[in-house]
Amino acid sequence: MLARATRLPIPQRAFLASTRPHQLLLQQSRTFASTFTRFSNSKDNKVKAASFDSFNEEVIASSVPVIVDFHANWCMPCKLLRPILEKVVAKTKDIRMVTVDVDEEYKLAKQFKITSLPTVVAFHKGKPIHSFIGAQHPPGVERFVEEVIKRATNQDDD
């Protein structure tokens, strides 16, 4: 005997019809973003947000390597990458992190030719020394930071 398909009551059908997967993902990312914002304020000043005006002071004039995270609030891979970056930077000595929202600081994005998000660029003595594009797993971010420290050390020796 064939099983008969059951029909959902009208209010449940209307809810399911109005709820698309991308809407659920957007709702989940908003929840993640609000939770993330509460816990992402670093107390040791290793992570700061930079504007076009403060970029020279925070990044270019810095004597230690600075990792710059170019991101946007609507970018889900950016939201996934940022806590990983913050955690790795917090564990590492002599390195800082600056975040740049490309929607608000479009001049910086244009200046550094940022075309994909997230883009992470490491600077030392005012020059970019290493970068990657796209979300990375924690081991990849750790290798990136190790390489930044190695290149910064080599640059100091020169």
Give the separation between CA 111 and CA 40, rounded to whole angstroms.
Answer: 27
- Selecting among 75, 85, 121, 122, the annotated active-site residue is 75
- Give the 3-state secondary structure of residue 74: coil
- Give the 3-state secondary structure of residue 72: coil
Residue 75 annotated in active site: yes
- Selecting among 50, 59, 68, 78, the annotated active-site residue is 78
Helix residue ranges, H only, the chain:
10-18, 21-39, 55, 76-91, 106-111, 138-157
Under the phi-then-psi rule, with left for phi > 0, alpha for psi from -120 to 50, and beta for the rest, what region is 4? beta
Taking the CB of residue 74, how many other CB atoms lie within 10 A of it? 12
Count of residues making up the chain: 158
Residue 78 annotated in active site: yes
Taking the CB of residue 75, how many other CB atoms lie within 10 A of it? 20
Cite the active site residues: 75, 78
